[in-house]
C-alpha cells in the first residue's frame, strides 16, 4: 500500500449501522450520521477544535435573493495540514422563500464537514457508490457486527474441548470476543 493512501484505507469503510437512505432534491442518497463521522475523525486525529476542525468560517448571504443560497467558506485543519472548503445551502425551506430553515447553519457546517473529511478518505465507499451494491453492504454489515462474548462457564468448557483436541484456540478467537482474562488463560495452554 502506498503511504499516500494509508489514512484512506483505514477510514474508507462506513459502518452501515450509522447510515440511512434519504431523498434530497429528488435524488436517493446514503446519509451518514454526523456524530458517527465526528467520532471516526476524533479517533484518528484527536479532539475536535484542538487538532482538527474548521477555522475562519464565513457565511455569505449575497446569493440569497436570487438563488436562495447561503455560501459557507472556511478552512479545514487536521494534524497533517489544512485546506479551504466551500459549500452552499438553501436558506428557505419553500419555493416562495417565506419559511426560513432555522437549521440551515447547522446543515451547511455538517455538510461542509462531510465534504472535507471525504477528501481525506472518510466514508469513501459511500461516495464511490459502493453502498448502491446490496452485496457490498451485507458484507460490510458482517464485518462491523461485533463477535459475541463468551460467559466464563462456556469458556471453561471451550478450554476443555481445546485440551481434548476437539476445538482450536484459533477457532475460539475467530468466533468470540474474548476478555483480557480469557486471552491470558489461553496463553497458559
In the chain the domains, ranked by start, together with CATH numbers, are 3-133 (3.30.390.80), 152-187 (no CATH)
Residue of 51, 48, 69, 50 whose CA lies nearest to 60: 69
Structure confidence at residue 45 as a pLDDT band (50, 70, 90): very high
| Per-residue pLDDT, 104 | 93
Q: Which of 13-17, 23-27, 165-169 has the highest mean pLDDT?
A: 13-17
* d(C-alpha 124, C-alpha 37), whole Å: 12
> Is the confidence at residue 1, as pLDDT, over 70?
no
What is the mean pLDDT of the segment spanning 153-177? 92
What is the mean pLDDT of the segment spanning 46-57? 97
Question: Within a 10 A sphere around the Cβ of 74, how many other Cβ atoms?
Answer: 21
pLDDT exceeding 90 applies to what percent of the chain?
85
How big is the chain, counted in residues? 189
Q: How far is CA 92 from CA 71, 96, 99, in A?
A: 13, 8, 5
* d(C-alpha 22, C-alpha 29), whole Å: 5
C-alpha cell at 80: 497533517
* d(C-alpha 36, C-alpha 69), whole Å: 27
> Is the confidence at residue 81, as pLDDT, over 80?
yes
Amino acid at each position: 500500500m502506498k503511504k499516500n493512501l494509508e489514512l484512506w484505507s483505514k477510514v474508507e469503510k462506513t459502518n452501515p449501522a450509522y447510515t440511512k437512505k434519504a431523498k434530497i432534491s429528488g435524488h436517493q442518497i446514503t446519509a451518514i450520521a454526523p456524530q458517527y463521522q465526528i467520532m471516526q475523525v476524533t479517533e484518528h486525529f484527536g479532539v475536535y477544535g484542538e487538532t482538527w476542525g474548521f477555522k475562519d468560517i464565513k457565511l455569505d448571504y449575497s446569493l440569497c435573493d436570487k438563488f436562495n443560497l447561503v455560501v459557507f467558506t472556511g478552512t479545514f485543519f487536521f494534524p497533517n495540514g489544512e485546506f479551504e472548503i466551500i459549500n452552499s445551502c438553501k436558506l428557505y425551506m419553500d419555493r416562495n422563500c417565506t419559511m426560513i430553515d432555522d437549521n440551515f447553519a447547522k446543515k451547511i457546517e455538517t455538510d461542509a464537514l462531510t465534504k472535507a473529511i471525504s477528501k481525506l478518505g472518510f466514508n469513501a465507499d459511500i461516495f464511490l457508490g459502493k453502498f448502491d451494491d446490496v452485496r457490498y453492504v451485507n458484507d460490510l454489515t458482517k464485518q462491523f457486527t461485533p463477535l459475541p462474548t463468551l460467559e466464563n462457564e462456556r469458556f471453561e468448557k471451550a478450554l476443555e474441548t481445546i485440551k481434548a483436541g476437539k476445538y482450536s484456540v484459533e477457532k475460539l478467537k475467530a468466533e468470540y470476543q474474548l476478555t483480557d482474562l480469557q486471552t491470558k488463560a489461553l496463553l497458559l495452554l
